Amino acid sequence: MKPRILVAREVFPEVIDRLQEHFEVDDNQADLVLGGEGLKARLADKAGALTAATDPVTAEVIAAAPGLKAICNFAVGYNNIDLAACTRAGVVATNTPGVLDDTTADLAWALLMATARRLPAAERWLRNGEWKGWQFIQWLGSDIHHATLGILGMGRIGQAVARRGAGFEMKVIYHNRTRLPADKEAACRARWVDKDTLLREADFLVLVLPYSPATHHIIGAAELALMKPTAHLINIARGGIVDDEALISALRQRRLSGAGLDVFEGEPKFNPGFLELDNVALAPHIGSSSRATRMAMAMTAADNLIAALSGQRPPNLLNPDAWR
Query: Which residues lie closer than 8 Å to 25 by C-beta, 6 or more apart?
Result: 5, 7, 16, 19
**Is 10 designated active site?**
no
Catalytic hit among 10, 60, 245, 267: 267
**Is 223 designated active site?**
no
Catalytic hit among 9, 238, 265, 294: 238
Instruction: Report d(CA 156, CA 176) in Å as an integer.
Output: 12
Query: Which residues lie closer than 8 Å to 93 by C-beta, 6 or more apart?
Result: 57, 70, 71, 72, 73, 78, 81, 83, 86, 317, 318, 319, 322
**Is 217 designated active site?**
no
Q: Are 234 and 205 in contact (CB under 8 A)?
A: yes
- Three-state SS string over 166-203 comes to HHHCCEEEEECCCCCCHHHHHHHCEEECCHHHHHHHCC
Catalytic hit among 164, 232, 285, 294: 285
Q: Which residues are catalytic?
A: 238, 267, 285
